[in-house]
Chains A and B, each alone.
Chain A
Amino acid sequence: MALTTTPRRSGTSPDGEQVDAGAAVRAASTGRVGSRVFAGLSTGAGVLILLTLAAVAVFLVIRAWPALTASSEELGDISWFNGDSVAEYVGPLIFGTLLASVLALLIAVPVSVGIALFISHYAPRRLAQSLGYLIDLLAAIPSVVYGLWGALWLLGVVDPFFEWLSGALGFIPLFADYQAPAKNILSASIVLAVMILPIITAVSREVFLQTPRLHEEASLALGATRWEMVRQAVLPFGRSGVISASMLGLGRALGETMAVLMVISPGFLYSFHLLQPGQHQTIAANIASKFPEASGLSVSALIATGLALFVITFAVNFVARWIIARRAEFSGAN
């Protein structure tokens, strides 16, 4: 597969021919062929990555095409289809996906930064690494297990808290009218937050640990408290790292399926009622929920929503990398 495209790359670095010693002649001739083949192979693999990404887009478009071009009557025959076009159908789903991910990010980022600081600057040094592993364990847990945990444990635990929240702050529409069980978007976001916590923590921790020792000691030498040192030296240094980590987390939250599927009571509304059931659904969970019973045009419609998700995550990652690249140039971090 990798062999099909092998644009030759001119050897810019030392190749066999640079060595003229007689003993190396044989090695050089096999070397030249070998090098060429090897360079071709590895370049081919790289190009294959580009082709694969293109293929993802192309295949999704091909499979989604019948739904994208179908008339509203044809689409209306799909029992779960609301709206006149795929765009109309996917709108609330995109809204739900973004809302769930952003909420998850709002929960996860402060906690992650706290954990990362704890591990890098607060915990006893001997414990720090083990504590880091402990948080990494969260990343090793499969999503379906998070789903089980969310559905069978978390919903019961957050229920009294939501009850209280809705009672105390119910005058704000955001928190109005909580209805048990807690199968609402906030619960789903909490599960998502737990799932993206380890990645944000891991990246932030690495960045915090790279803070130049001199900056920290200078700050302390001036009589700063530990927190002041963190604020003056560590956080400014790590800011771009935290942003990039958050974007990674956002990307992951956008596409997470099982946890949302098993926790939320779905709905297709543009709604900010975080504690009400049946208001939101994410694209990924919607696909997983509808796909098993789907056939024909409804499969195409679902793949079309998947295409939308692909575009969104692509865009988020694209923007994230762009921001990071720019920031990296200026701050000199990493």
Chain B
Amino acid sequence: MKLSPRNRLGAVALTGALALTLAACSSGGNAEEPAGTAGSGDEAPAELSGSLAGAGASSQEKAVAGWIAGFNEQYPDVSVSYDAVGSGGGREQFLAGAVQFAGSDAALKEEELTQAEERCVGGEAVELPLYISPIAVVYNLPDVDAENINMSAATIAKVFNREITTWNDPAIAAENPDVELPAIDIIPVNRSDESGTTENFTEYLAAASEGAWPHEPSGDWPISGGQSGQGTQGVIDTVTGAEGAIGYADASRAGDLGTVALKVGEEYVPFSAEAAAKVVDASPRAEGATENRLVVELDRTTTEAGAYPLVLISYHIACSVYEDQADADNVKAYLSYVASEAGQERAADPSVAGAAPISEDLRAEVQTAIDSITAG
């Protein structure tokens, strides 16, 4: 077991606060009575100050920048930082106690949950799906006027698996009877670095392509020998750089590139914030999810009308119990802002991150989980 110096200090405090910890534990099943002892009144922590550090997924970096700015309008004295070190790094730092919250494209793993209990002084991890972002399949066909090209997951899988190699392939043409497709080669472009975007994209292909995608879902692109780009901008640059290229990237960055409408049920759905939020609502909770860990098992094969199943969810991970009152208050205030209508609206702004705002129902659940955060 590794203990950072900070944790070791914390351990001393931990033994001192054993009673409180036990109280926090027992309250796990009963959220009615928050275990907070000090006057951590629910409302109006009017004067917050101190610093709040987060680290994690680069996917939500832009949104977090917007949230921090918005949060600081309300609480100018709290200095919030977010370090886009990647999901794995963020979780690692969070569990080591180096940051108060993490951003992660994936939920905590089994063994990380055990570590989280320790990090959260006996409480548990809080996982909130606060960043929902549609992933667009973008293409560079300047001569195609149509707003979108329609594709089913199977067609996309074959395109990226290089079984369909020209744009006027019958499979694509059949789905786009009204579009005049050029007779040029398709150049598939993937992310070259490991990313949540790739993971969600391959997950979608594996689940929805009816076997046309032979690879396992993975954060790392499984096929070699093709064009790729470092980071989202690398993908966009590469797709922009060659006519006939097709790639996948965070939808807010599609810019002037054409985007593919996905086949859902019997219709084709272009990406939009609403369509992305819809699939999250239509999806069940993951196995092992609790009131605090709102982990979503995305239903990639949904047939719900108007849902866009190619989305990325990035979680905010925090503790249900913090050692320090100030930490608890700051995290609570920050997460409440992020979950609030204003916060979600801000991230949804296409100029900020183009995320999909969470639905009212989800917000209510998220708020309940946030309210349970206490200091122990």
* Chain A positions near chain B (C-beta within 8 angstroms): 79-80, 151-152, 155-156, 179-181, 183, 261-262, 265-269, 276-279, 289-290, 292-296, 298
Chain B residues lying within 8 Å of A277, measured Cβ to Cβ, are 225-228
| Complex CA distance for A262 and B226, rounded to whole angstroms | 16
Interface size class of B (residues with CB under 8 A): 20 to 34
| Complex CA distance for A267 and B225, rounded to whole angstroms | 6
Complex contact B227–A278 (CB within 8 A): yes
Complex contact A179–B227 (CB within 8 A): yes
Complex contact B241–A180 (CB within 8 A): yes
- Could you list some 30 contacts between A and B, CB below 8 A? A79-B199, A156-B241, A179-B227, A180-B187, A181-B242, A183-B227, A183-B229, A183-B238, A183-B241, A262-B230, A265-B192, A265-B227, A266-B192, A268-B224, A269-B224, A278-B224, A278-B226, A278-B227, A278-B228, A279-B225, A289-B192, A290-B193, A292-B58, A292-B85, A293-B89, A294-B86, A294-B88, A295-B89, A295-B92, A298-B88
| Complex CA distance for A201 and B57, rounded to whole angstroms | 44
Q: Is B176 an interface residue (CB 8 A)?
A: no
Complex contact A265–B228 (CB within 8 A): yes
Beyond contacts A293-B193, A293-B194: 4 other A-B pairs, Cβ-Cβ < 8 A, are A180-B243, A267-B225, A292-B193, A294-B88
| Complex CA distance for A293 and B218, rounded to whole angstroms | 13
The 5 closest A-B pairs by CB, nearest first: A181-B241, A293-B86, A80-B220, A295-B88, A180-B242
Main secondary structure of the interface of A (DSSP, over half): loop
**Which residue of A is nearest B239, CB measured?**
A181
* Chain B positions near chain A (C-beta within 8 angstroms): 58, 84-89, 91-92, 187, 192-195, 199, 218-220, 224-230, 234, 237-238, 241-243, 245
Chain A residues lying within 8 Å of B192, measured Cβ to Cβ, are 265-266, 289
Q: How far is the CB of A298 from chain B (nearest CB, A)?
A: 8
With contact pairs A265-B227, A277-B227 given, residues A296 and B88 touching in the complex (Cβ less than 8 Å): yes
Complex contact B228–A266 (CB within 8 A): yes
Chain B residues lying within 8 Å of A180, measured Cβ to Cβ, are 187, 241-243
With contact pairs A79-B218, A277-B226 given, residues A265 and B238 touching in the complex (Cβ less than 8 Å): yes
Complex contact A296–B187 (CB within 8 A): no
| Complex CA distance for A34 and B220, rounded to whole angstroms | 61
**Which residue of A is nearest B220, CB measured?**
A80
Complex contact B194–A80 (CB within 8 A): yes
Complex contact A292–B89 (CB within 8 A): yes
| Complex CA distance for A151 and B228, rounded to whole angstroms | 13
| Complex CA distance for A235 and B288, rounded to whole angstroms | 74
Chain B residues lying within 8 Å of A267, measured Cβ to Cβ, are 224-226
